[in-house]
Amino acid sequence: MSNASMDRLRQGVTVFGAVFQVLIGFFVPVGSLVNREVSLIIPAGWAFSIWGPIFLLCGVYAVYQLLPSKRYDPLLRRVGWPLGLTFVGNGVWTAIQPLQSPVLSQVVITIVLVLAIVALVRFARSSVENGTQQWIVGLPVGLLAGWLTAANVVGFNDMLVRLGVVGSGLLAALVGAGLLVVGVAFAAVVIRVVSSGPPQATVTYAVGVVWGLFGIVANQYDASLITAGVAALGLVLLLALLFGEVRKSGARNSATTRVA
């Protein structure tokens, strides 16, 4: 298949994924199928409203990359496939929820996270001088990858609960806290890796993770001080790391401007 054909296929897959991940939710009652079991790191219900801005940003990106002038764009060629497949994967995850298979659900959402992180890292390591692309590409790739990072931690814990590996007592709290520590550490590494790129993606990635942690604190402080406390601490640490990385990035940019 020629490069031109691959570019058209990439554009088509991205548009399909952006539409599919939204429409499938009208046919599959995800809210009544997932998180039925008591889990000590499930965020508050309102936290999942972040999908609204995510879907909107994904839709804007899908339309933007569909423009004929963007078909052969080098940045979109690097980011387009993993990001478009992330959209499709989100829809697939929703579609398989009626199967009630926690292991399959976790496998799919993990693959989706990997794709989103690949897109994020590729974006950060690309030369993005176009201010429009920094916003139109950076915002969805960052926010989506950030929320999926939090969702994977929650999903893995939910899988353990639904399989009966942990219950809702002290062991569940300790396991949940441990998974939160791993998730925060992973997010911190990602922030450090992508902080050299456009700040739009770095900031929105951190926002996605922090929003999930805030939802956990709000929902679990009565049920488990252990998981709520770890989530709150992780939230503060990630915000501090983000602030430090943004300051360093600003200092580097100022130094580059003075040299130029």
Residue 127 confidence (pLDDT): 80
What pTM does this model have? 0.93
Spatial contact of 81 and 122, defined as CB atoms under 8 Å apart = no
For the chain, domain boundaries: 3-28+44-259
Residue 29 confidence (pLDDT): 84
Over residues 89-101, the pLDDT tens digits come to: 999 999 999 999 9
* Nearest-angstrom CA–CA distance, 260 and 258: 5
Helix (H) or strand (E) holding 189: helix 170-194
Residue 37 confidence (pLDDT): 61
Kindly state the DSSP code that residue 168 receives in the 8-state scheme. Answer: S
Spell out, as residue ranges, where the chain has pLDDT lower than 70: 32-37, 250-260
